[in-house]
Amino acid sequence: MSNFNRRDFLKISGGLAVGATVVGCATNLGGAAKARVVVVGGGVGGATAAKYLRMMDPAIHVTLIEPNKHYHTCFMSNEVLSGDRSIKDIEFGYAGLAGHGVNIVHDTVTGIDAEKRMVKTADGDSFMYDRCIVSPGISFTWGAIEGYDAKVAEKIPHAWKAGPQTVTLRKQLEAMRNGGTVVIAAPTNPFRCPPGPYERASLIAKYLKTHKPKSKIIILDPKDKFAKKGLFTQGWKRLYGYGTDNSLIEWVGGAAGGKVESVEANNMVINSQVESIKADVMNVIPPQKAGKIAFSAGLVNKKGWCPVDVATFESHIHKGVHVLGDASIATKMPKSGYSANIQAKACASAIVAMLNEKEPGVPSYQNTCYSIVGENYGISVGMIYKYSKAKNLVTPIKGSGGVTPKDASMETLKREAHYAHGWFDNITHDIFG
């Protein structure tokens, strides 16, 4: 099936008397559909869910609503910053999903009426559903850092959603003088991709080491520890002189006053609790919460994240609506692309069971996060999880998982870097292929 969108449908059906307000009428879209699922958001979670729903039960009509024509993966976007990849290498379209029979609609969802089982869009359309999947990603808590808001972020990028801001940040690094200072402001927990800021520092250092070796990266961090800290600092010592006077990377943790309080965009000054730094390039990653649509659909708790049943990912607030990926509370899974991919499969499987009047099966979850520290230098953390029904938790399986051993050989670290790239190839194919 080709990319059969709503307008094509209206064209073919002669505009229909009902006008443009009612769409997604499954029976008119070629063959009788068993049920309709509307997926909101075409990132990792949404795209995986849409594809797997179609693979698991082709009788289900699936519509994916996503405003952008392309998705840029956050994973491996740090390699765009180092110049190892172009933005095109992390860009994916929706033709693969259309090939699986997913109806792709490029529009912005403005609201979800859980009572009427209807999704509304900015174009004024409404989509009826039997089940709705929302995979909204993250949004930012503006105002947490004085002087830093969405407008300032155009100039001082967060680049925490890959895309134009990733390109901006790369250009700024390219334009920077040798001897410049790059400041990365890491966010508070919880946030998308826990090892991400530290991989970013590593890959910017990789670039600077070759091209601008007199430069320096300062990570200002409100936290005292971070994901794979021991492995990152070991790698920084080996590759970037970490801990010496000439280190390319300096990390200032919470106890040392690393919390950022304000940004002076015009002067390019960033103020932490204890010092003011004049920066050449700034990358401020603000605190995070669930994506915007999760708020307008009323799917969030007081902390701004979405409580769900972790077996089916059905919202605890609105029945019939499932929330996946970074926006969902799937403790103890980290907010990662791998997690979103796995959660989408668990959710799709549960929805297929429900729509076929069967009992949803038992989920199985995994997460593996690779980080590139430098040339031929990769590290990883992984975990296998099981569903803990009594506590509604995704529970790590004892004895499994863990991080790359500290005494891993250089050969192992090289392979981890190569496998990180292999993982990128396979997961993106699993999602969008």
Residue 93 carries which DSSP code?
-
C-alpha count within 13 angstroms, C-beta hemisphere, residue 266? 0
Peptide bond into 187 cis (omega under 30): no
Between residue 392 and residue 411, which ones bind another protein under the rule CB under 8 A? 397, 399-402, 404, 411
Beta bridge partner(s), residue 288: 140
Among 73, 77, 135, 380, binds another protein (CB under 8 A): 380
Between residue 259 and residue 288, which ones bind another protein under the rule CB under 8 A? none
* Nearest in space to 194 (alpha carbons), one of 399, 46, 427, 383: 383
- Specify the residue, 125 or 280, whose C-beta has the smaller distance to another protein: 125
Peptide bond into 398 cis (omega under 30): no
Between residue 120 and residue 149, which ones bind another protein under the rule CB under 8 A? 126, 128, 130
Q: Could you give the CA distance from residue 32 to residue 46 in angstroms, rounded to a whole number? A: 24
* Nearest in space to 313 (alpha carbons), one of 37, 35, 99: 37
Residue 181 interacting with another protein (CB under 8 A) = no
Q: Could you give the CA distance from residue 415 to residue 314 in angstroms, rounded to a whole number? A: 38
CB of 342 to another protein, least distance (A): 6
Residues in the chain: 433
C-alpha count within 13 angstroms, C-beta hemisphere, residue 337? 27
Binding mask 88-117 for another protein (x = CB under 8 A): ----------------------------xx
Residue 338 interacting with another protein (CB under 8 A) = yes
- Specify the residue, 273 or 388, whose C-beta has the smaller distance to another protein: 388
Between residue 339 and residue 368, which ones bind another protein under the rule CB under 8 A? 341-342, 345-346, 349, 353-355, 357-366, 368
Between residue 12 and residue 71, which ones bind another protein under the rule CB under 8 A? 18-19, 21-22, 25-27, 33-36, 52
Residue 314 interacting with another protein (CB under 8 A) = yes
CB of 425 to another protein, least distance (A): 3
Q: How far is CA 402 from CA 153, 189, 379, in A?
A: 35, 20, 11
Binding mask 224-243 for another protein (x = CB under 8 A): --------------------
CB of 30 to another protein, least distance (A): 15
CB of 354 to another protein, least distance (A): 5
